[in-house]
C-alpha cells in the first residue's frame, strides 16, 4: 500500500488544481521532490528574457508542476478538489502563491508545517 498525498496549488488563497499522488507521498519522497521543484522558482507577472525557474503566476506554476511530476502512466493524477470530510490521504501539501511569493503548508501523519520554500526543504530533509 502506498503513501497517498495531495498537492493543492492556491492563487491568492483560491485553490487552482489538485494533484493526487498514489505512492511515495511522504516528506522524504514527494516533499523533497516538491521542494527541489520550488526552491529556485520565481513568480513573475509577465515574461521577460529570463525563462529558467520562472513561472508567470500560479497557473503557470501549476502547469509546470504537472509536467515535472508526470512522466509515465499512473501514480500522478489530476482530481477535483477534495471534500475535507472524505479526504483519505496521508499528506496534504498546499503550495500558496500570494503577491509573487511562494509558501508551503503540510499536514498529515502528525506533521504540521507552514513556511517558505527553503524552510520547507529543510523540514523535509530533517524527517
pLDDT, tens digit, 9 for 90 and up, residues 50-64: 778 999 999 999 999
Q: Where are the domains of the chain?
A: 5-126
Q: Tell me the per-residue pLDDT of 10-53, one tens digit each, with 9 for 90 and over.
A: 999 999 999 999 999 999 999 999 999 999 999 999 887 777 89
Given this model, what pLDDT does residue 1 score? 57
Residue 115 to residues 48, 51, 105, 124: CA-CA distances in angstroms? Answer: 28, 26, 7, 12
pLDDT band at 85 (very low <50, low <70, confident <90, very high): low
pTM (2 d.p.): 0.93
Q: How far is CA 23 from the centre of its chain?
A: 15
Provide the percentage of residues in the chain whose pLDDT is more than 90.
Answer: 81
Amino acid at each position: 500500500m502506498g503513501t497517498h498525498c495531495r498537492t493543492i496549488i492556491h492563487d491568492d488563497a483560491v485553490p487552482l488544481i489538485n494533484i493526487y499522488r498514489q505512492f511515495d507521498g511522504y516528506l522524504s519522497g514527494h516533499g523533497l521532490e516538491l521542494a527541489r521543484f520550488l526552491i529556485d522558482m520565481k513568480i513573475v507577472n509577465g515574461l521577460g528574457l529570463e525563462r529558467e525557474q520562472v513561472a508567470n503566476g500560479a497557473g503557470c506554476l501549476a502547469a509546470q508542476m504537472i509536467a515535472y511530476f508526470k512522466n509515465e502512466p499512473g501514480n500522478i493524477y489530476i482530481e477535483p478538489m477534495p471534500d475535507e470530510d472524505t479526504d483519505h490521504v496521508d499528506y496534504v501539501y498546499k503550495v500558496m502563491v500570494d503577491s509573487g511569493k511562494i509558501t508551503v503548508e503540510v499536514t498529515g501523519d502528525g506533521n504540521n508545517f507552514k513556511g517558505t520554500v527553503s524552510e520547507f526543504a529543510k523540514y523535509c530533509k530533517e524527517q
